[in-house]
Amino acid sequence: MEIRNLENAQRFLDYCGYYRFCGYALAFEIQDKSGARTHKYTCGSSFEMIESIYHFDGALRRILFHYITLIEVFFRTTLTNISALHYSCPHWFLKQSAFSNPEKHSAFLDVCKKETERSKEAFIKTYSLNYEKPTLPPI
């Protein structure tokens, strides 16, 4: 593999790490007939080319994470709004009759209680200060 700028390569490896870099370089590594690694790279591959793929991957992850987050929030908000309107109650999830399996409903409420207790979110603290019942905040 060609390394055009040794100093830049060293700086990059200092923050990326050798093994992480090698993961990106695998696509350019030549394999022998049995599929084993040879630690030799295809003609024309360079350190800088693999570094640019690493940076592209990071940028792509940031973009995807941004849009996945938007989709998640939209989905959860839509589910919340539809379910609260359908049951005409923001605490509908506390009603066992809204669930087909009583055991799963009970387990679900246990998880909700544990998550609420461990939460440091401001809205959970505010709800707890202002309301005694129901103990869980609305959907």
One DSSP character per residue, the chain reads -B-S-HHHHHHHHHHH-HHHHHHHHGGGEEE-TTS-EEEEE-TT-BHHHHHHHHHHHHHHHHHHHHHHHHHHHHHHHHHHHHHHHHHT-TTGGG-GGG-S-HHHHHHHHHHHHHHHHH---HHHHHHHHH--SSSSPP-
In this prediction the pTM is 0.66
Task: List pLDDT tens digits, range 85-119.
Answer: 999 999 999 999 999 999 999 999 999 999 999 99
